[in-house]
Amino acid sequence: MKTTDIKNINELLDAIGRFRKSAIYKFRGQSDKEWKLLPKAGRPPFRDRDDKELFNQWKRRAIAYLKRENYDEWELLAIAQHSGVPTRLLDWTHNPLIATFFACMDNFDMDGALFVYKPEGFIDMKSSKPFSLSDGKVKFFQPIASNDRIMNQFGYFSIHTKPTIELDENTGNSTLEKIVIPNTIKKEIVFTLHQYGINNLTIFPDLEGLSKHLTWFYTNYEYWDGTVQ
């Protein structure tokens, strides 16, 4: 996997700029560069559990909270993922700045990573089901915008046909790249992204996002000096 170490925001924007002429690239940010590209269902303590059984239990109860009754399995799995359920899905985005936000918003003592990947194609969701895929590979699909978070995050998903299999050159392809963001510039990047309109409020358009955004803003209240330079 090609790895690029950047030192400042300008170098980060230059690294991202290499991909702006193609709409096929997808991006993922992780706040610790050492983390593998592995879905939550494939990590401890869930890796030894049956994620399909967990999803079925969630689905049985979730109907009381959903807006309609005719979601398909792909939609329901995406909603479960964005509701915090351990699934075999991993979040990606079409927008590199949103991925950068997730790489920088937490773990300020750790270097973050922005991953870039060019999927070879997308799953035909009409002819397959999430749990019928079992070839040990990592595939991509574009979810229906069944909730505001998926829509605002320009969301895509990788589905790991075995949850414990990470995305790498063996399960994906050679286009996978990693841009390492040093912890020393994480906070400054978060402030810059806020100026660009990328923050908890825009990424999570709900009460949780509003609460997170205001908490962040007032935690960093001394940063805002009231002047325009």
112-117 vs 26-30, strand pairing mode: antiparallel
Of 2, 1, 26, 186, the C-alpha closest to 103 is 186
Number of domains the chain contains = 2
In a shared domain, residues 179 and 111: yes
Q: Tell me what pLDDT residue 146 has.
A: 65
User: Which residues contact residue 77 at a Cβ distance below 8 angstroms, ignoring those fewer than 6 apart?
Assistant: 55, 87, 89, 130
Q: Are residues 40 and 106 in the same domain?
A: yes
**Is residue 194 assigned to a domain?**
no
- The pLDDT assigned to 118 comes to 95
CA distance 41 to 81: 10
- Per the CB < 8 A criterion, the answer to whether 92 and 28 are in contact is yes
Integer Cα distance of 140 and 92 in angstroms: 9
Task: Report d(CA 63, CA 55) in Å as an integer.
Answer: 12
**Which residue's structure tokens are 């999430």?**
130
Are 59 and 159 within one domain? yes
Q: b/e for 200-211, b at 16 or more Cβ within 10 A?
A: bbbbbbeeebee
Name the least confident of 34-43, 111-120, 144-153.
Answer: 144-153
Mean pLDDT over 140-155 rounds to 80
Q: Are residues 130 and 216 in the same domain?
A: no
Range of the domain at 144: 2-186
Both structure tokens of 180: 């390492």
What pLDDT does 29 receive?
98
Q: Are residues 154 and 225 in the same domain?
A: no
The 10s digit of each residue's pLDDT in 5-18 is 999 999 999 999 99
User: 59 with 163, same domain?
Assistant: yes
- The SS3 of residue 138 is strand
Tens of pLDDT along 66-78? 877 788 999 999 9
The Cβ-side half-sphere exposure at 60, using a 13 Å CA radius, reads 6
* pLDDT category of residue 22 using cuts at 50, 70 and 90: confident
Give domain status of residue 37, yes or no. yes
For residue 166, the 8-state DSSP code is: P
Tell me, yes or no, whether 125 and 215 share the same domain: no
Please report the pLDDT score of residue 226 as a whole number.
Answer: 66
**Are 225 and 171 contained in the same domain?**
no
Per residue in 128-137, pLDDT tens? 999 998 888 8
Instruction: State residue 229's pLDDT score.
Output: 46
Q: 3-class DSSP state for residue 23? A: coil
Q: Is the pLDDT of residue 145 over 90?
A: no
- Return the beta strands (E) in 22-78 as ranges: 26-30
- Straight-line distance from the first to the last Cα atom of the chain, in angstroms, rounded to the nearest whole number: 41
Stated pTM of the model: 0.92
Domain assignment present for residue 53? The answer is yes
Q: Which residues of 118-221 form beta strands (DSSP E)? A: 138-141, 155-160, 177-181
CB 143 within 8 A of CB 156: yes
Answer yes or no: is pLDDT of 224 > 80.
no
Mean pLDDT of the chain: 92
